[in-house]
Amino acid sequence: MQTKSTLLFTALLLTTLAPVHADAPLSKPASAATQQAQQQALQQLPSNFSQGGADATRGFMGAFPTAQIKQPDGTVIWDTGQFSFIQGSAPDTVNPSLWEHEKLNNLHGLFKVTEGIYQIRGYDLANMTLVEGKTGWIVIDTLVTEEMAAQTLAFAKSLLNSDKPISAVIYTHSHVDHFGGVRGVLPNYDPQHSNVAIIAPTGFMEHAIAENVLAGNAMTRRATYQFGHGLNYGPRAGVGSGLAKGVSRGTIGLIPPTVTIAKTGETLLVDGIEIEFQLTNNAEAPAEMMFYLPQFKALCLAEIATRHMHNVYTIRGAQARNSLLWSKFINEALDLFPAAEVAFGSHHWPVWGQQNIKQFLGNQRDTYRFIHDRALHLANQGATMNEIGDADFFPKELAADSNSRGYYGTLSHNMRGTYNYYLGYYDGNPTHLNPLTNEQRAARYMDLFGGSEPLLQAATKAYDSGDYQWAVELLSHVVFANPQHEPARLLQADAFEQLAYQAEAGTWRNAYLVAAQELRYGPIPAITSTQGPDVVQGMSIELILDYLALRLNHQNTDGLSVKINLYFTDLDELWALELSNSVLNNRQGRQLADANLTIRWTRAQFLALVLGQTSFTELLAKQAIETEGDPAALAKVFAHIATFEPTFNIVTP
pLDDT computed for residue 317 by the predictor:
87
- For domain 436-502, which architecture applies? Alpha Horseshoe (1.25)
pLDDT computed for residue 137 by the predictor:
98
pLDDT computed for residue 7 by the predictor:
38
SS3 content of the chain, % helix, strand, coil (to 5): 40, 15, 45
With contact defined as beta carbons under 8 Å apart, do 520 and 489 qualify? yes
Nearest residue to 168 via CA among 147, 199, 203, 126: 199
Distance CA 299, CA 172 (A): 12
- Amino acid identity of residue 361, one-letter, is L
pLDDT computed for residue 529 by the predictor:
56
Distance CA 372, CA 54 (A): 32
Over residues 228-269, the pLDDT tens digits come to: 988 989 999 999 999 999 899 999 999 999 999 999 999 999
pLDDT computed for residue 611 by the predictor:
85
- Neighbouring CB atoms inside 10 A of 455's CB total 23
Distance CA 263, CA 276 (A): 11
Over residues 496-554, the pLDDT tens digits come to: 999 999 999 999 999 999 999 999 999 877 555 555 677 778 889 999 999 999 999 99
Confidence category of residue 4, pLDDT binned at 50, 70, 90: very low
SS (H, E, C) 509-532: HHHHHHHHHHHHHCCCCCCCCCCC
Over residues 336-368, the pLDDT tens digits come to: 999 999 999 999 999 999 999 999 999 999 999
With contact defined as beta carbons under 8 Å apart, do 122 and 108 qualify? yes
| 390, pLDDT greater than 70 | yes
Domain 540-638 in this protein, CATH class: alpha beta
pLDDT computed for residue 531 by the predictor:
57
With contact defined as beta carbons under 8 Å apart, do 255 and 152 qualify? no
Over residues 400-457, the pLDDT tens digits come to: 999 999 999 999 999 999 999 999 999 999 999 999 999 999 999 999 999 999 999 9
| 14, pLDDT greater than 80 | no
Q: 164, exposed or middle or buried, with CB in 10 Å at 0-12, 13-18, 19+?
A: middle
Start and end residues for every CATH 3.30.1050.10 domain found in the chain: 540-638
Distance CA 289, CA 274 (A): 16
Distance CA 483, CA 463 (A): 20
| 24, pLDDT greater than 80 | no
Between strands 197-201 and 166-170, the pairing is: parallel
| 643, pLDDT greater than 70 | yes
With contact defined as beta carbons under 8 Å apart, do 174 and 260 qualify? no
| 99, pLDDT greater than 90 | yes
pLDDT computed for residue 527 by the predictor:
54
Alpha helices in 134-200 (DSSP H): 146-159, 182-185
Q: What is the mean pLDDT of the chain?
A: 93
Domain covering 48-421, topology: Metallo-beta-lactamase; Chain A (3.60.15)
What's the alpha-carbon Rg for the chain, to the nearest Å?
A: 26
Which residues make Cβ contacts (< 8 Å) with residue 259, sequence separation at least 6? 197, 198, 199, 200, 268
Start and end residues for every CATH 1.25.40.880 domain found in the chain: 436-502
**Portion of the chain with pLDDT greater than 90, in percent:** 86
With contact defined as beta carbons under 8 Å apart, do 92 and 39 qualify? no
pLDDT computed for residue 530 by the predictor:
57
Whole-model pTM: value is 0.94
CB half-sphere exposure, 213, CA atoms < 13 A: 24
Between strands 626-629 and 597-601, the pairing is: antiparallel
